[in-house]
């Protein structure tokens, strides 16, 4: 295998373990060992990781509160030929972690940004959830207050893709109660807690049953959590609001039977079902 060599003037976005240090890649170790500087979400936290792999490097802080102020300095360092690694506290940087403004700014300046892939809590959880993985939506952190959280959940109620969230376990019970309130007690949910760590827990159940489980076992309200919700499953042959809207527009210009035939072809529905709808609707 060819020995890895850092390219001067490059920012490396480096994924780190989400728990188990055994998930650290050799390439990540090589990059962190060779770069001139490491941008860390928390320098104290990252120092423990670097010590575990005998990596000696200069670190500096890059977090939500100083990211924009760091942009110009990082660009200047790269233009001087320095190499920099960007890491978060755990997992892949920028995925609900700092770094977006830095990466976007550097790309706009045509400065090189190289990914060093590895662990990501959202993808790790999805891979073992048993929910559909062909289409999914990562929604980041849910709001901390119930009213705002219910509003977000309401907007996603009819989302057909698997939804992935990060959530603080201390408010997981409140979140599940809001899911029951907005999406229904039968909506399927998977909780992945403390992934790759000693007390890893991956559990699938209905939202209603989760409320009972979390109420009875407060130990599950600790650590880091990925919350996944099964996408909305419409009833076969159900007619959506979008179909109704299209049908109304067509009927303004065409006879009902012709309008139903066109709408049926567009949406793959039965003409008779749409015609019955036109008879029942108040135009």
**Torsion from C-alpha of 89, 93, 95, 99, nearest 10 degrees:** 110
Which string of b and e fits 36-73 if b means at least 16 CB within 10 Å? ebbbbbeeeebeebbeeeebebebebbbeeebeebbee
Whether the pLDDT of residue 9 is over 90: the answer is yes
Query: Which tops the pLDDT comparison, 246 or 282?
Result: 246
Whether the pLDDT of residue 283 is over 60: the answer is no
Instruction: Report the top-level CATH class of 11-119.
Output: alpha beta
* pTM of this structure: 0.82
d(CA 50, CA 112) in angstroms, rounded, equals 24
Sole residue written with tokens 């009902």: 256
Sole residue written with tokens 């490396």: 12
Tokens at residue 138, please?
Answer: 């990562």
Question: For the chain, where do the domains classified as CATH 3.40.1010.10 start and end?
Answer: 11-119
Dump pLDDT digits (tens) for 36-90: 999 999 999 999 999 999 999 999 999 989 999 999 999 999 999 999 999 999 9
d(CA 196, CA 198) in angstroms, rounded, equals 7
Question: For the chain, where do the domains classified as CATH 3.30.950.10 start and end?
Answer: 122-229
pLDDT band at 187 (very low <50, low <70, confident <90, very high): very high
Give the pLDDT confidence score for residue 236 in this predicted structure.
Answer: 60
d(CA 202, CA 212) in angstroms, rounded, equals 16
Q: To 5 degrees, how large is the angle CA 123–CA 129–CA 131?
A: 100
Beta-carbon contacts of 249 under 8 Å, excluding residues fewer than 6 positions away, are: none
Whether the pLDDT of residue 96 is over 90: the answer is yes
Domain 122-229: CATH superfamily is Tetrapyrrole methylase, C-terminal domain (3.30.950.10)
């Amino acid at each position: 295998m060819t020995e890895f060599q850092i390219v001067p003037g490059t920012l490396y976005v480096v994924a780190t373990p989400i728990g188990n240090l055994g998930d650290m890649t050799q390439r990540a170790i090589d990059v962190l060992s060779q770069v001139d500087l490491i941008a860390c979400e928390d320098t104290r936290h990252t120092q423990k990781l670097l010590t575990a792999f005998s990596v000696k490097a200069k670190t500096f802080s890059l977090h939500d509160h100083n990211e924009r102020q760091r942009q110009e300095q990082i660009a200047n360092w790269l233009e001087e030929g320095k190499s920099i690694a960007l890491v978060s506290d755990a997992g892949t940087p920028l995925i609900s972690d700092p770094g977006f403004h830095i990466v976007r700014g550097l790309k706009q300046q045509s400065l090189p940004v190289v990914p060093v892939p590895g662990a990501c809590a959202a993808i790790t959880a999805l891979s073992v959830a048993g929910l559909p993985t062909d289409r999914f939506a990562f929604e980041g952190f849910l709001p901390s207050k119930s009213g705002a959280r219910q509003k977000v959940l309401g907007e996603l109620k009819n989302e057909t893709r698997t939804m992935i969230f990060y959530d603080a376990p201390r408010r997981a019970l409140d979140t599940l109660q809001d899911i029951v309130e907005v999406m229904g007690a039968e909506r399927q949910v998977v909780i992945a807690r403390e992934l790759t760590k000693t007390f890893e827990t991956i559990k699938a159940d209905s939202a209603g049953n989760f409320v009972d489980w979390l109420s009875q076992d407060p130990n599950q309200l600790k650590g880091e959590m990925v919350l996944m919700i099964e996408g909305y499953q419409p009833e076969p042959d159900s007619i959506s609001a979008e179909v109704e809207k299209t049908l109304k527009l067509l009927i303004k210009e065409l006879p009902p039977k012709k309008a139903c035939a066109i709408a049926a072809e567009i949406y793959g529905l039965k003409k008779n079902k749409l015609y019955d709808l036109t008879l029942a609707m108040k135009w």
